[in-house]
């Protein structure tokens, strides 16, 4: 039986990944300090996992979490571009120092594979679309810089210590359990909540900015494949659906799915936000046999259904 550690396993993506690993017969340990993760995300799985409450910034804690582990899925991070603009030091500590601690502890414990939650924000405002992994990075925010630094540590540890690493550059992952109630919430979590409450959609800018929205099950599939596929080196891999939609198109789709015609409130653009995001997923297909099955429309339908039940 394979033994996995999921850092940040109580978070939105992390908890779905824990669920996916359990279904596939993994023994799972979760390390989370519940800063942004939520206990209720793990409530149905508590009797099946080994839960360790602690912070990736504490190397001793991470060493404890790493005992007898075959593969690590490093999801723990302080998400959000705007949060990092407001508090760059904290983003740096959690996302860079935390990642380095995970790698040091993995090296010391003899872990074979580390799968890292990287971010499409590393690309910045590239004029060329879709974004492909061979492009040079151009991070625009402390968050994006911290995520890119994590990728570089993954590569260095692979070269220096022989740990196999894979960095998955997520593009706007969405779905059930995403918290809509923080100021840093993902746009779909916010918009779905507005749709269900009959409130106007808040948009920063003109709504023509576009994103490659990735349903959570596609991201879980990518992680499991990245944990199990024999891979050389320390590749960086885009994880997305491979199509883009503008925020205005997203709003039209939500209105259609809910049978409404709610208005949009346009405001000023936000510092550090990327204008367009669209992934080339050829490398994910070739390297991992990744095949995203759920498109934006179906993902939204499932997400609406889940939020309605809450």
Query: Is 143 noted as a catalytic residue in this protein?
Result: yes
Tell me how crowded residue 259 is: count the other CB atoms within 10 A of its CB: 6
The backbone torsions φ and ψ at residue 220, rounded to the nearest 5 degrees and listed phi first, read: -65, -45
Length of the chain: 310
**How far from the centroid of its chain's Cα atoms is residue 7's Cα?**
12
Q: Is 119 helix (H, G, I), strand (E, B) or coil?
A: strand
Number of continuous H segments (helices) and E segments (strands) in the chain: 11, 13
Cα–Cα dist 248/145, whole Å: 28
**Which contiguous run of DSSP H or E holds residue 85?**
helix 81-86
Q: Are 51 and 27 in contact (CB under 8 A)?
A: no
SS3 193: helix
Among candidate residues 143, 170, 215, 290, the one labeled active-site is 143
Are residues 165 and 150 in contact, defined by beta-carbon separation less than 8 angstroms?
A: no
Distance CA 302, CA 186 (A): 16
Q: Quick one: CA dihedral 29, 35, 37, 40, positive or negative?
A: positive
Query: Catalytic residue numbers?
Result: 143
């Amino acid at each position: 039986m394979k033994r996995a550690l999921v850092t940040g396993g109580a978070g939105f993506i992390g908890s779905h990944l824990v669920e996916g690993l359990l279904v596939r017969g993994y023994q799972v340990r979760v390390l989370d300090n519940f800063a942004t993760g939520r206990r209720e995300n793990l409530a149905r799985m508590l009797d099946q996992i080994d839960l360790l409450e602690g912070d990736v910034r504490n190397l001793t804690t991470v060493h404890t979490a790493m005992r007898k582990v075959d593969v690590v899925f490093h999801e723990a991070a302080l998400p959000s571009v705007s949060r990092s603009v407001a508090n760059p030091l904290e983003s740096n500590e959690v996302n860079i120092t935390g990642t380095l601690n995970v790698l040091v502890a993995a090296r010391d414990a003899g872990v074979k594979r580390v799968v890292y939650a990287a971010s499409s924000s590393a690309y910045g405002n590239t004029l060329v679309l879709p974004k492909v992994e061979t492009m040079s990075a151009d991070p625009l925010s402390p968050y994006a810089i911290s995520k890119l630094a994590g990728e570089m540590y993954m590569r260095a540890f692979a070269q220096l210590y022989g740990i196999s690493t894979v960095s998955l550059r997520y593009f706007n992952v969405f779905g059930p359990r995403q918290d809509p109630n923080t100021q840093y919430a993902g746009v779909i979590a916010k918009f779905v909540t507005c749709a269900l409450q009959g409130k106007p959609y808040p948009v920063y800018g003109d709504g023509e900015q576009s994103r490659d929205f990735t349903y959570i099950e596609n991201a879980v599939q990518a992680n499991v494949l990245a944990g199990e596929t024999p891979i050389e080196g320390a590749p960086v891999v885009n994880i997305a659906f491979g199509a883009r939609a503008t925020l205005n198109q997203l709003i039209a789709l939500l209105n259609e799915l809910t049978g409404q015609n709610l208005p949009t409130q346009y405001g000023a653009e936000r510092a550090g936000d990327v204008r367009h995001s669209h992934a080339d997923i050829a490398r994910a297909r070739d390297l991992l046999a990744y095949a995203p099955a759920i498109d934006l429309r179906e993902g939204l339908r499932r997400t609406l259904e889940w939020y309605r039940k809450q």
